[in-house]
Amino acid sequence: MQLTRPAPAPAGPTTGQAGPAVVVTDLRRRHGDVEAVRGISFEVHPGEVFALLGVNGAGKTSALEVLEGLAPAAGGTVRVLGADPLADRAAVRPHLGVLLQSSGLPSDLTVRETVALWAATLTAPRSVEEALAQVGLTDRAGLRVRSLSGGERRRLDLTLALLGSPRVIVLDEPTTGLDPESRRTVWTLVRQRVADGAAVVLTTHHLEEAEELADRIAVMRAGRIVLSGTAAEIAATQPATVRFTLPAGAPPLPDVPGATVVSAAPRVELHTRALQPVLVRLLAWADAHGLVLGGLQARAASLEQAFLAVADGADPS
């Protein structure tokens, strides 16, 4: 059998859609003495959304800034479309849409002027009017940026990030401060870009946003990724919960293999990683004794439970 070496990575952004659009390998980032990112790795493919979750200070923005070409890595490598976003910034920039956590837009320009000015810097911008309509800012187009509400400003930021139809989109807390309707507008816009083949990396503190948008999720804690997978895979790291109330005079609960009793009769709570066999055993026992398990609930763990179990606390190492 003949072994072949993989082809060397191209120096500039690759044009094809094969392979990952973003490759982060053992990335480290420092702010002086603070080691904000301590060796994280992940890949994002075209047509995929990857969400970085973590409590305040976990290192999400510090990692994204390296992807955005705004800061050097202290170790490891980041490749966006096969190129280094800092060293090859001029080549990567036209294909990269960035939404920073807080933007610094000139407040004296109108919304339309701002979008038009930004469009003038792009190789193939979308139409200004169409872009404003998509985020519901058409009737605000003549207002100065400083007059916009926080949510309107965020939607303007997103318009600018998506204006050049970028192949890689980095969104740092895209919907913070948005009302539920505006949040859904943002989700729709992101999904459209993903359907067109864009790769998206985002951070969010809204777990339902990660569940709605992300194909894969990584939870960061103290600069490291401590959990990753689909929302369902991450949720499945925690046990399911079974709750019910036993009627007065019921016999003692039987031993249920695979279940831990967290709260005893009469208001019983069990935790289990084998929900179906535990339910079968419980219901058979209740049936045999002619018992009704009052208010019976069986619930798989949520992404939020898994997040809360791992996200907080000090450096896990």
Termini Cα distance of the chain: 42
**Structure tokens that stand for 171 in this block:** 């969104």
- Beta-strand pair 199-203/216-221: unpaired
Regarding 58 and contact with ligand ATP (CB under 6 A), the answer is yes
Closest to 190 in 3D by CA, of 19, 17, 49, 20 = 49
Smallest distance from ligand ATP to CB 174, Å: 13
One residue of 56, 295, 314, 317 binding ligand ATP per CB under 6 A = 56
Closest to 219 in 3D by CA, of 87, 59, 112 = 59
Pick between residue 62 and residue 272 the one whose CB is nearest to ligand ATP. 62
Regarding 54 and contact with ligand ATP (CB under 6 A), the answer is yes
Smallest distance from ligand ATP to CB 223, Å: 7
- Build a one-symbol-per-residue string for 227-246: x at contacts with ligand ATP by CB under 6 A, - elsewhere: --------------------
One residue of 13, 59, 151, 174 binding ligand ATP per CB under 6 A = 59
Smallest distance from ligand ATP to CB 196, Å: 28
Smallest distance from ligand ATP to CB 55, Å: 7
Regarding 57 and contact with ligand ATP (CB under 6 A), the answer is yes
Name the segment binding ligand ATP (CB under 6 A); options: 58-66, 82-90, 125-133, 228-236. 58-66
Smallest distance from ligand ATP to CB 71, Å: 9
Regarding 69 and contact with ligand ATP (CB under 6 A), the answer is no
Regarding 314 and contact with ligand ATP (CB under 6 A), the answer is no
Smallest distance from ligand ATP to CB 18, Å: 31
Regarding 151 and contact with ligand ATP (CB under 6 A), the answer is no
Site for ligand ATP in 8-37 (CB under 6 A): 31-32, 34, 36
Q: Locate tokens 């969104």: which residue?
A: 171
Pick between residue 95 and residue 221 the one whose CB is nearest to ligand ATP. 221
One residue of 28, 38, 60, 95 binding ligand ATP per CB under 6 A = 60
Smallest distance from ligand ATP to CB 80, Å: 19
Regarding 67 and contact with ligand ATP (CB under 6 A), the answer is no
- Residues making contact with ligand ATP (CB under 6 A): 31-32, 34, 36, 54, 56-62
